[in-house]
Amino acid sequence: MNYCGECGKSVTKKIPQGDNLPRFVCDSCQVVHYHNPKIVAGCIAEWNGRILLCRRAIEPKSGLWTYPAGFMEIGEGTEEAARRETFEEARAKVRITRLHSVLSLPHIGQVYLTFIGELLAEEFAAGEESLDARLFEKADIPWQDLAFPVIKDALRRYIEDIRRGEFGVHVADLPGRLS
């Protein structure tokens, strides 16, 4: 950040009075510009024991697989965001059944809220930002071709939950070095 979005003058990174972290502060109007973590809302959508994954058509990680997930928008709730992303990326309608995990990525300022959903019908297709959308048996999940470490982590926890028959909400931080 170089300029103030309010008045267009230059900004300086410094610790505002009463604060304890450096922020971008306008040299002219003194507005403090905060940057906070973003929420990525996602959905592992089930259909008769299989789950819906889509293959990314856009960077980063174009060509690799993920469950539908994307940045939550102002004006929507968390479940609504997960349903919207599932429709945008995999043209599928889901009923959200439960929250699966809250996974923080401190190094990039993201928090993944992943829900479990149930497809309303066996209807899906690649959305505009996807190359493909498919239902995978759990044994066939393309572990080596998943787009992001957090997607792999959430899917591993999902599979392990089913194996153990335990379905609590996972809260964890994923370090930057996770591969």
Residues that bind a second copy in the complex, under the rule CB under 8 A: 1-11, 18, 21, 24, 33-39, 71-80, 99, 102, 104, 106-107, 109, 111, 113, 128, 169, 171-173
Residue 128 or 163: the one with the smaller Cβ distance to a second copy is: 128
Q: Give CA–CA dist 43/51, Å, rounded.
A: 10
| Min dist. Cβ of residue 92 to a second copy (A) | 18
| Min dist. Cβ of residue 1 to a second copy (A) | 5
| Min dist. Cβ of residue 106 to a second copy (A) | 5
Residue 162 or 169: the one with the smaller Cβ distance to a second copy is: 169
Pairing type for strands 38-47 and 110-119 reads parallel
Residue 75 or 165: the one with the smaller Cβ distance to a second copy is: 75
Tokens of 1: 């950040």
Strand partners, 118: 46, 95
C-alpha angle 172/113/50, rounded to 5°?
100
φ, ψ (nearest 5 deg) of residue 165: 70, 30
Residue 31 or 64: the one with the smaller Cβ distance to a second copy is: 31
Cβ 135 vs Cβ 47: under 8 Å: yes
| Min dist. Cβ of residue 88 to a second copy (A) | 8
Contacts of 148 (CB under 8 A, 6+ apart): 61, 66
